[in-house]
Amino acid sequence: MTSQPQPTVRRAEKASVIGWWRWRSVEGYLFIAPWLVGFVAFVLGPFLASFFLSFADWNLVRPPEWVGLEHYRTMFTDDPKWVKSFLNTVYFTVFHVPLILVVALFTALLLNRQLPGIGVFRTLFYLPSVTAGVATAILWRFVFNYRYGLFNQALGMLGIEGPNWLGSTKWAMPAFIIMSTWGFGSLMVLYLAGLQGVPRELYEAAEMDGATAWDKLLKVTIPMMSPVIFFTMIMTVIGSFQIFTAAFIMTEGGPADATLFYILYLYRSAFQWLRIGFASAMAWILFLIILALTLIQLSLSKRWVFYAGEEPA
């Protein structure tokens, strides 16, 4: 008799514990519900929808018509403008990514010292990363102006006659590459954070072994920083495939499509010519390109990225 209440209590306790766990599980879903709903409605849904739209011909007026792989075929065999926009973007990426990574890393190395006033420069170099938008695109449009632009005036002082940057099919793209390098500040901040994480002892040990500054850079800093460099490389490649505002403001794709970037062509296809299906196919090809580039970098990374605590291969 006396021992009877005990199991009941325990059972009730157990039930409430399970109930509590169940409630916490529901609760967890409630907390993430806004994101989950948004993810389905604004990310996953549209992502899949654009896949289906890419097989249709639709201009928002007539009902959509199934055309199968037609848009993809057009892109690769029948649309020199698409090829041009793709090659332009590749050209930009090939020069932009290494340049901005090296400049950011170099500056981070310079600024990674306890010197008075160094913080001011960190702030200064970061500045263009936050002002990137229409205003600075307008600024650069005039920096590269043939007659009264900053660049050609500076070259003029050196006795060089500068090219008509944005008006020349040859020089427009280099102008974009120069302009984009200006925004290295956000990468630099990442590298500075990464440099703080390199253990002092490694440098001390290297010094004991008689390593020069150059040795320390190549054999300690770069390997220890390689995960950060790798991460920023992937993000920069993805970002450089999506350049839009600068192109829209500075050149509108000209001259003669020399700066027709991928997203600019996508924007025009979708929102000016209302080729919804074709633009969706373009978006999916962009997605596949980015996915492929990321996977390639990921597989190559095994050769050079070193994660601390892991034996180098």
Partner 1 sequence: MEARQGAVRRTDTFESLPKWRRRQVRDLLVNTLLYLIIVAGGIVFLIPFTWMVSTSLKTLPELQRIPQPLLPEVVRWDNYWVAWTSLPFTRWFFNTAFITIVSIIGTLLSCSLAAYGFAYTRFRGRNVLFLVLLSSMMLPYHVRLIPTFLIFNHLGWINTFLPLTVPAFFGTAFYIFLLRQFFLTLPKELDDAARIDGCNSLNIYWRIILPLSKPALAAVTAFTFIDSWNDFLGPLIYLRQDSRLTLSLGLRMFLDFQEGTGELHLMMAASVATLIPILLVFFFAQKHFVEGVTFTGLKG
- Binding residue for partner 1 (CB under 8 A) from 12, 18, 94, 150? 150
Q: Which of residues 96-115 bind partner 1 (CB under 8 A)?
A: 107, 110-111, 113, 115
Q: Which stretch binds partner 1 (CB under 8 A): 48-56, 92-100, 163-171, 216-224?
A: 48-56
Q: Which of residues 170-199 bind partner 1 (CB under 8 A)?
A: 182, 186, 189-190, 193-194
Q: Which of residues 23-42 bind partner 1 (CB under 8 A)?
A: 24-32, 34-39, 41-42
SS3 65: strand
For 257: left if phi > 0, alpha if psi spans -120 to 50, otherwise beta; the answer is left
DSSP string, 223-258: HHHHHHHHHHHHHHHHHHTT--HHHHHHTTT-STTT
- Binding residue for partner 1 (CB under 8 A) from 134, 205, 256, 300? 134
Indicate the residue among 132 and 202 with the shorter CB distance to partner 1.
Answer: 132
Q: Which of residues 215-274 bind partner 1 (CB under 8 A)?
A: 227-228, 231, 238, 241-242, 244-245, 248-249, 263, 266-267, 270-271
d(CA 266, CA 263): 5
Indicate the residue among 42 and 66 with the shorter CB distance to partner 1.
Answer: 42
Minimum CB separation from partner 1 for residue 5, in Å? 26
Indicate the residue among 49 and 102 with the shorter CB distance to partner 1.
Answer: 49
4 C-beta neighbours (distance < 10 Å), count: 8
56 pairs with which residues across the strands? 66
d(CA 265, CA 15): 61
**CA-based nearest residue to 228, from 182, 202, 197:** 197
